[in-house]
Amino acid sequence: MTTSQDITTVRVERFEPSRTQEWDTFVCAHSRNGGIFQEQRFLGYHPEGRFVDESLLLYLDDELRGVLPAAIHPQDDKRIAAHPGSSAGMLVYHLRATTREVLALLEAALLHYKERGFRSIEFRMPEGFFTYPSAGELDFLLWHRNFRLKSREVSSSVNLDTEDNWLHMGRKKNPNSIRAARKKGVVIERVPTAQEPYSLIEQNLSQRHSKKPTHSLKELEQLKKLYPDRLDFWVARYESECIATVVTLRVTERAVHDFYIAQDYSHAKLNVFPSLFYEMFQFYKDNGFDWFNFGISSRGDWIKWGILEFKERMGGRATYRDVWELLELQDYEPYEDTYAGQV
């Protein structure tokens, strides 16, 4: 059973920048459910001072067995968010960890934050295909330890197993659109720098939504320097002009996530996105990836139908991204197994 003695065998240490290499090596090489969104190199590209870090390293018998990327919630200094600078933040644990060990790691972290006076904590879970093998232990234990499901967002993904799958799940007209775009001279390519795609993204968001991109050009350029082989800039060209772009991030060795999608609406009738996405799908499949993730298309009870249906036309189908929260952290008591010894 899990007892207070089990929890005290977990050594909790707060993250310091000098531990970045140790942290990222664990996430990349030894964890079951970690990816680029939980690496300190990724989290550290944000401007200094944007977040107050509260990340933890968790050791068992002097071996690093878990990490928890976290910071103080930007709107509530008594709330821990794991992690507000990332699409997904949660306890990341060792490839060989058992359910009992995950529970011990989780409770050690919760008691650490409780002792430091925080009132609540939230985890933002990734889509299931970002974890391999399955990492269902954490989902189960969050429910078991009285976390509540704060929100469930609809996300869209494409299984890259076969080209027939992409075409079958996408819009029926897509093969015709691909052939038409090629006939008109549309060219799809990856470009080495962010400047050209960013210009189109900035223009697109300004014209359509009166907004600025989430990331600055400088931040995207910094990410490219940090991850030269994991951040890709794709463009569709017509008569040498960039008329559509997709920015993608290779989150794990199996899954790719898109960061930005934008187009020049003056060329919308060319319908270049089927060509752009299907060439991307083929590229990533050929390079060993199993999944392409479009990201979420909802906020609470608001379904962004236009965005969701666009992703479905490209072959995406729904999965979900959950946010779990524990509201009464100061009242939290460790798990005691009243059925210990029973089979």
The pLDDT of residue 261 is above 90: yes
What average pLDDT does this structure show over 273-280? 95
The pLDDT of residue 5 is above 70: no
The pLDDT of residue 117 is above 70: yes
* Rg of the chain in Å (alpha carbons): 22
| Residue 309: predicted pLDDT | 96
The pLDDT of residue 134 is above 80: no
Query: What percentage of the chain exceeds 90 in pLDDT?
Result: 78
The pLDDT of residue 4 is above 50: no
The pLDDT of residue 294 is above 70: yes
Inter-residue contact 218 to 246 (CB < 8 Å): no
The pLDDT of residue 84 is above 90: no
Inter-residue contact 167 to 290 (CB < 8 Å): no
Confidence band, pLDDT 50/70/90 cuts, at residue 340: low
Q: Which string of DSSP letters, residue by residue, matches 87-154?
A: S-B--EEBTT--HHHHHHHHHHHHHHHHHTT--EEEEEPPPGGGSSS--HHHHHHHHHTT-EEEEEEE
213 phi and psi angles, rounded to 5 deg: -60, 150
Summary mean pLDDT of the chain:
91
| Residue 289: predicted pLDDT | 95
**Sequence-ordered strand ranges (E) for 120-269:** 120-124, 148-159, 187-191, 231-238, 241-250, 255-263
Inter-residue contact 167 to 175 (CB < 8 Å): yes
What average pLDDT does this structure show over 231-245? 96
| Residue 8: predicted pLDDT | 65
| Residue 188: predicted pLDDT | 97
Residue written as tokens 């390519």? 189
> Domains in the chain, please, with CATH?
4-153+322-331 (3.40.630.30), 161-289 (3.40.630.30)
Kindly report the three-state secondary structure assignment for every residue of 294-326: EEECEECCEECHHHHHHHHHCCCEEEEEEEEEE
Say if pTM beats, i.e. exceeds, 0.85: yes
Confidence band, pLDDT 50/70/90 cuts, at residue 165: confident
The pLDDT of residue 338 is above 70: no
